[in-house]
């Protein structure tokens, strides 16, 4: 089973020193330590982009070239499976975007690049499930779970 980390989960993993992120970090460490052949934890490129832009913005506002959180994101992209975007994924995302609007259930405003549908398209392409804090939006397109509720025995 492929677990695709949403931006909100990935960003929390970039801040392991915060007390509220300790359990999440332990959950990931347990998954990686178990080395279960049937579980692959993935960083979708759209989640990396969204997390990275936020962390870069913080660094630049602080007049720093990098931060510990950015270095942690780089470490995570090396440790976990990185899923790059490709043309079929982006075309599927465009279809999901149009489809959600045609039924009156958009996940973002028309002006925004809709990261949720891009993430959903990556999950569909990878035959994976999304680990997110935003189950309501993503579960319309793909299986989506909070990290505490991921059924790792699938």
Give the residue with greater pLDDT, 23 vs 110. 23
β partners of residue 131: 5, 145
- CATH code for position 29: 3.40.50.1010
**26, two tokens:** 């332990």
For residues 70 and 52, is the Cβ–Cβ distance under 8 A?
Answer: yes
For residues 121 and 93, is the Cβ–Cβ distance under 8 A?
Answer: yes
State whether residue 14 is helix, strand or coil: coil
- Domain membership of residue 84 (yes or no) is yes
Number of domains composing the chain:
1
pTM beyond 0.85, yes or no: yes
pLDDT in tens, 41-62: 999 999 999 999 999 998 888 8
Q: Domain limits at 82?
A: 2-148
């Amino acid at each position: 089973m492929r677990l695709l980390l949403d931006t909100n989960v990935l960003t929390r993993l970039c801040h392991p020193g915060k007390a509220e992120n300790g359990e999440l970090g332990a959950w990931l460490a347990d998954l990686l330590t178990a080395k279960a052949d049937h579980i692959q934890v993935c960083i979708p490129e759209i989640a990396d982009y969204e997390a990275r832009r936020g962390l870069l913005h913080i660094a630049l506002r602080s007049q720093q070239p990098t931060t510990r959180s950015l270095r942690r994101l780089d470490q995570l992209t090396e440790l976990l499976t990185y899923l790059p975007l490709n043309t079929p994924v982006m075309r599927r995302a465009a279809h999901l975007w149009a489809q959600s609007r045609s039924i009156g259930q958009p996940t973002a405003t028309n002006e925004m690049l809709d990261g949720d549908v891009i993430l959903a398209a990556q999950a569909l392409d990878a035959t994976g499930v999304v680990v997110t804090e935003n189950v309501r939006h993503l579960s319309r397109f793909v299986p989506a779970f909070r990290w505490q509720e991921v059924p790792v025995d699938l």
